[in-house]
C-alpha cells in the first residue's frame, strides 16, 4: 500500500510541474477571466425571466383574439308537446296506442262510441230534407198568391167597367139609383180583395228571402239545416282521434277502453319529433355581438362524439327572471347585482333522423359571433392617436 501511494504522489507532482498545467493555472488566476466568468448569466436565470414573459405574451394573445365563440352548458333540447284531447264527449271503445309508442301523422289513436253521433247525423239529414220541402211549399204559396192577385185584378177591371156603365145609365135616368150603389159596392169589395192578394204576394216573397227565384239550397232555412248536418257529420268524424303530427305518445299508460271522456279534457301528450330546437341560456354579457342567423355548434351529452350544426334562430324577449312566477323585486330591501341569463333559440340545420333525440336532453352550445375581444379601449385609443 505504501508503494502504491508513493507512485500516485509522484505522478501528481509530475502533472503539476508540467508546462501545460502551469499555463492553465495561470489563466484561471487572471483577473479578466474571473470577471468574464462572473458576468455570464446562468441558464436558471434565463428561464426565470423568459418563461413568465412568454406566458404573459401568449395569454395576452389568446385574450385579445378570443371572445369570438360564446359557449354555454346551460342548454337543453326541446320538442313541441301537444295535449291530446277529444272534441266530442263519449265512452272510449277502442285504443290503438301504448305509452312511448312512435306514431305518424294521421295514425288512429283511439275511438269514441259513434252511435249517438250517427243518430244525430241522421236527424240532421232529415231536417235538411224537411227544410228543402218547406222552401218548395213557400214557392208554391208565392205562385198561388200571384194567381190570386191576377184574378182579383181582373175582377176589379170588370167591376170598374160595370160601375162606369151604371153611372152613365143613372145620369141618363135609365137605371135606378140602387143599381149604381150595388155596382159601387161590388167594385169596393174587388179592390179590397186585390189588396189582400198583393199582401199575400209580399208575404210569400219575404218567406223566400226576397227572391222568388232563389235556389232551394240557398234559402236561409236550408242553409241552417245544412250547417247543422255538417256539424253532426263533423262530430261523428271526431269520434276517431288521429295523431296531429309525427311524434311519440307519452303518459298514456292509464288510458283504457271504457273510460268516459269530456270535450277538451287532456288525456295524454304527444311529443313531436319533427320539431326540435335548443334553448340555450346565455349570460347577458355574452349577447353583445350575438344575432339571429349566426352559426352555432351543438354537442349533446347523450352523443358526446357528435357535433350538430345549427344557427341562432331567435333571442328571447327578456331574462328568465322577468317571466318567472315570482319576478324579482329589486326596489325593495338589499340588492345584489347578479348576471342574468337570456334564452336563445338554436335551430338544427343537420339533424340526424337516425339519432334518438328526446326533449330535455342536456347540451353544450357554441355560437360563432364573428367578433373577437380586440385590444382594450385604452390601447385602442392610443393606437388611433398615433
pLDDT digits (tens, 9 = 90+) for 248-263: 999 898 889 999 999 9
Nearest to 302 by CA among 366, 344, 352, 350: 352
Q: How far apart are CA 244 and CA 271, in angstroms?
A: 11
Describe the strand order of the beta sheet including 90-95 as a list of residue ranges. 240-242, 108-112, 90-95, 260-261
- Map out the domains of the chain with their CATH numbers: 67-79+274-385 (2.40.30.170), 117-234 (1.20.58)
| Residues 68/233, Cβ–Cβ less than 8 Å | no
Nearest to 251 by CA among 382, 100, 354, 147: 100
Partnered with residue 231 across adjacent β-strands are none
Q: Which residue has the higher pLDDT, 325 or 45?
A: 325
Q: How far apart are CA 383 and CA 386, in angstroms?
A: 5
Taking residues 212-234, report their average pLDDT: 92
Lowest-confidence segment of 47-51, 200-204, 267-271, 380-384 by average pLDDT: 380-384
| 156 has a pLDDT exceeding 70 | yes
Would you state the pLDDT for residue 385?
45
Does an H or E element contain 368, and which? strand 362-368
Q: How confident is the model at residue 40 (pLDDT cuts 50, 70, 90)?
A: low
Taking residues 227-237, report their average pLDDT: 95
pTM of structure: 0.64
Amino acid at each position: 500500500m505504501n508503494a502504491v501511494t508513493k507512485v500516485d504522489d509522484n505522478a501528481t507532482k509530475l502533472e503539476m510541474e508540467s508546462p501545460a498545467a502551469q499555463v492553465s493555472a495561470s489563466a484561471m488566476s487572471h483577473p479578466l477571466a474571473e470577471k468574464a466568468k462572473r458576468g455570464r448569466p446562468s441558464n436558471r436565470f434565463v428561464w426565470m425571466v423568459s418563461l413568465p414573459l412568454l406566458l404573459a405574451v401568449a395569454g395576452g394573445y389568446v385574450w385579445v383574439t378570443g371572445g369570438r365563440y360564446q359557449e354555454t352548458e346551460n342548454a337543453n333540447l326541446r320538442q313541441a308537446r301537444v295535449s291530446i284531447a277529444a272534441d266530442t264527449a263519449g265512452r272510449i271503445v277502442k285504443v290503438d296506442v301504448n305509452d312511448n309508442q312512435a306514431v305518424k301523422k294521421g295514425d288512429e289513436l283511439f275511438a269514441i262510441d259513434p252511435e249517438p253521433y250517427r243518430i244525430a247525423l241522421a236527424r240532421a239529414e232529415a231536417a235538411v230534407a224537411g227544410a228543402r220541402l218547406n222552401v218548395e211549399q213557400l214557392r208554391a204559396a208565392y205562385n198561388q198568391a200571384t194567381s190570386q192577385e191576377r184574378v182579383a185584378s181582373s175582377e176589379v177591371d170588370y167591376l170598374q167597367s160595370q160601375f162606369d156603365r151604371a153611372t152613365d145609365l143613372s145620369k141618363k135616368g135609365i137605371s135606378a139609383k140602387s143599381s149604381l150603389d150595388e155596382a159601387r159596392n161590388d167594385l169596393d169589395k174587388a179592390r179590397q180583395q186585390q189588396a189582400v192578394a198583393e199582401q199575400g204576394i209580399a208575404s210569400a216573397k219575404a218567406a223566400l228571402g226576397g227572391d222568388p227565384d232563389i235556389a232551394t239550397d240557398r234559402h236561409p232555412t236550408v242553409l241552417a239545416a245544412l250547417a247543422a248536418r255538417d256539424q253532426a257529420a263533423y262530430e261523428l268524424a271526431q269520434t276517431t282521434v288521429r295523431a296531429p303530427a309525427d311524434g311519440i305518445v307519452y303518459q298514456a299508460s292509464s288510458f283504457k277502453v271504457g273510460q268516459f271522456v269530456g270535450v277538451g279534457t287532456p288525456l295524454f301528450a304527444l311529443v313531436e319529433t319533427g320539431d326540435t330546437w335548443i334553448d340555450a341560456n346565455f349570460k347577458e354579457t355574452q349577447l353583445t355581438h350575438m344575432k339571429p342567423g349566426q352559426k352555432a355548434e351543438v354537442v349533446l351529452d347523450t352523443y358526446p362524439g357528435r357535433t350538430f350544426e345549427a344557427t341562432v334562430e331567435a333571442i328571447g324577449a327578456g331574462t328568465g327572471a322577468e317571466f318567472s312566477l315570482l319576478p324579482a323585486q329589486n326596489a325593495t330591501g338589499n340588492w345584489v347585482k347578479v348576471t342574468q341569463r337570456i334564452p336563445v333559440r338554436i335551430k338544427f340545420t343537420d339533424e340526424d333522423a337516425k339519432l334518438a333525440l328526446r326533449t330535455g336532453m342536456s347540451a353544450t352550445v357554441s355560437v360563432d359571433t364573428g367578433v373577437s375581444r380586440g385590444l382594450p379601449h385604452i390601447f385602442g385609443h392610443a393606437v388611433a392617436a398615433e
